[in-house]
Amino acid sequence: MSDPIDHRTPRRKPKPDLTRIAGHTLSPATHMMGYGYDPVLSEGALKPPIFLTSTFVFPSAEAGKRHFEGITGQRAGGAEGLVYSRFNGPNQEILEDRLGIWDGAEDALVFSSGMTAICVLMMAYCASGDVIVHSGPLYAASEGFVGKVLGKYGVRYVDFPAGATRAEIDAVLVKAKAMAAESGGKVAMIYLESPANPTNALVDVEAVCAARDAALDPAVTPIAIDNTFLGPLWQRPLDHGADVVVYSLTKYAGGHSDLVAGGVSGAKRWMDPVRSLRNTMGGICDPYTSWMLLRSLETLEIRMQRATENAIKVCDFLKDHPKVEGIGFLGLIKDARQQDIYQRHCTGPGSTFSLFIAGGEAEAFRFLDGLRIAKLAVSLGGTETLASHPAAMTHLSVPPERKAMLGITDNLVRISIGIEHADDLIADFAQALAQV
C-alpha cells in the first residue's frame, strides 16, 4: 500500500559527515551552528523548533517494533526513531550530537541535572558487592551519592587524593581489587573530578589510565571524569585515556545561570547501559532546556575564552595585592607536579579560582559584602562573575578535620569570573579589598 504522507520524523535522517571539508577538519565551535539538524525536516526553520510532545507517531507497526527493540536493549544503540519523550526527542538528540563533538565522543546523553547524570551513570555500572574508586575531593553531592546512597545497596568505595602519583594510585587499585574480591564483586568504575572543587587540584588522568590498564580489565572498569570546571574547551579527558566524560551543563555549557542540566559522553558501548537506565528512570533533559543549551553551545567557545582571559587579568591584579594571602588559580600553579599534570592535560586555566583573603571569616565576609559587580552566589560558569564562601556555604556541613584536609579555610573565597570587561572587574575587586 503506497502512502502519500511523508512519515519521516523530523529528526531521523542519515547524519552527513560534516567533520571535514575538502580534507580540512572543522572545529567543534563551527558545528554548534548546524550539526545534527536539517531545516528541511522542520518547515525550513533555521533553528530547531521546540518539540513539546509526549509521544511520536510511528510510520508503521513494523517501525514501532524496531524502535522498541532499541529501547528495550534487544538491539544495542537505542531507538532508531523517535518514540516517547522519556526516551528521546529531537531537541535532546541534536544536543547530544553536538555535545559529543566537543570531546570527540561517539555518543552522548543529556539529563535534567548534572547530579541526575552522575547518579544514573554510577547506578548503570554498579552492582552489590562492587567497589568504586574515586579521586577526592568530589563535588559534595557526588561524594554523598557514592558514600551514602550506593553504600545502602552494598557498593563500597575507596578514594585517593586528586594529586596522587602513579605509585599511590597503584596502591589504591590493589586495595580496591582486594575489597571487590572479598565481597564477590568487581571494581565497577574509577570516578575522577579534575580540577577538584574547591582546591583546584588536578588529577593525573594519564597515570590513572596506565594504572587501570596494568591492574584491571579496561573492558570491565571504565574511567569516568567530571569535566565541569574546564570542559569542554580547556580539557578533553577522552584524549588522555578516560572512557566517560561527565558534565553539569548548568555551569559553563549552559553558561547563563538560567538552567539546570547534565550530560555524559563516551563510546557507545559505555553509553548503552546508561541510556537503558535513563529510559527506565527518566531524568532526560526536557525539550525546552535542550533548546536553551543548543543556543548556549553556539557561544560556548567565545564565552569560555573571554572568561578565561578575564580571569588571567584579574588574578594578575590579585596575586600581589597586600590584602590577598594566596590564590588557587590554574594559571598560577606553584607545585611542580601539578604544573606537569596541567601541561599534559589542559589547554587553558579556566575562570574559576580560590582567593585567600588576608585574615579570617570576618575579612572574607567584608570583601564579599563589598563587591558591587560580582554577585554573591554559589555556582559558576555563567556570564556574570560570582563569589561565594565555601566554609560557610557549600561546605558548611563538612566536619572541621575534613575541611582542614581539603584546605577549606575561613578566609577562602571562591570566584567564578564572567564575561564582563576585565577592567571593571579589577576596579570592583580593588574597592572591595580596600574595605577589608
Ligand X SMILES: *Cc1c(COP(=O)(O)O)cnc(C)c1O
Enumerate binding residues for ligand X (CB under 6 A): 113-115, 139, 142, 193, 197, 226, 228-229, 248, 250-251, 260, 262
Angstrom distance (rounded) from CA 12 to CA 379: 36
Q: Which is nearer to ligand X, 245 or 271 (CB)?
A: 245
**Smallest distance from ligand X to CB 30, Å:** 27
Q: Which is nearer to ligand X, 93 or 193 (CB)?
A: 193
Q: Which of 155, 162, 115 is closest to 135 using CA atoms?
A: 162
Q: Which of 206, 253, 203 is closest to 228 using CA atoms?
A: 253
Name the residue whose CB lies closest to ligand X: 114
**Smallest distance from ligand X to CB 142, Å:** 6
Q: Which is nearer to ligand X, 82 or 105 (CB)?
A: 105
Q: Which is nearer to ligand X, 73 or 147 (CB)?
A: 147
CA atoms within 13 A of residue 273's CA, in its CB half-sphere? 15
Angstrom distance (rounded) from CA 97 to CA 106: 9
Q: Which is nearer to ligand X, 227 or 310 (CB)?
A: 227
Q: Which is nearer to ligand X, 228 or 257 (CB)?
A: 228
**Smallest distance from ligand X to CB 366, Å:** 26
**Smallest distance from ligand X to CB 113, Å:** 3
Q: Which of 233, 226, 272, 275 is closest to 101 using CA atoms?
A: 233
The helix or strand, by DSSP H or E, that contains position 376, with its residue range, turns out to be strand 375-376
**Smallest distance from ligand X to CB 178, Å:** 29
The CA-based angle 243-222-177, given to 5 degrees, is 150
**Smallest distance from ligand X to CB 39, Å:** 31
**Smallest distance from ligand X to CB 380, Å:** 6
Angstrom distance (rounded) from CA 198 to CA 201: 8
| β strands within 267-374, DSSP E | 324-328, 352-357
Residue 235 per-residue DSSP state: B
Q: Which is nearer to ligand X, 56 or 145 (CB)?
A: 145
HEC string for 80-141: CCCCECCCCCHHHHHHHHHHHHHHCCCEEEEECCHHHHHHHHHHHHCCCCCEEEEEECCCHH
